[in-house]
Amino acid sequence: MSKRQIKQGQADLRDLVQALAGLRNEAEVDDVLAALLTPREREEIALRWKLVRMLEAGLTQRAIAERLGVSLCKITRGSRELKSGRAGFRRIVRRSLWRRSQKSEVRSQKPEARRKSE
């Protein structure tokens, strides 16, 4: 690949990142992912997302491998990203776990307690 092609690819990726950043809701994100990715690619991305969240939640790599039926190599990459990758990625994973725990907490409350907190 030539330097020119690499530079163009980087510009195209920046354009995609800007487009994704401008999406307004989950439905728009879903539409873009469905249009750009094959069903198998979407499954792979969802699996990677699940395993990094499981790592962040404290599960061991071996436990995740057994649960999800994936290789330790795939999990190691996710672990490396959480430990020394981009800080923004770690922040997003942690935020996702926090939001999920908040939703679980609300669902587990009795109806009267839920009404009082709303």
Residues 10-32, mean pLDDT to the nearest whole number? 96
Q: Contact at 8 Å (CB) between 52 and 93?
A: yes
Residue 15 vs residue 117, higher pLDDT: 15
Cα distance between residue 99 and residue 2, in whole Å: 43
Q: Is the pLDDT of residue 13 over 90?
A: yes
Q: How many CA atoms lie within 13 A of 59 on its CB side?
A: 19
Q: What is the pLDDT of residues 34-92, one digit of tens each?
A: 999 999 999 999 999 999 999 999 999 999 999 999 999 999 999 999 999 899 999 99
**How far does the chain reach from its first CA to its final CA, in angstroms?**
56
Q: What is the pLDDT of residues 90-117, one digit of tens each?
A: 999 999 999 888 877 676 776 665 555 5
Residue 39 is predicted with a pLDDT of: 97
Residue 34 is predicted with a pLDDT of: 97
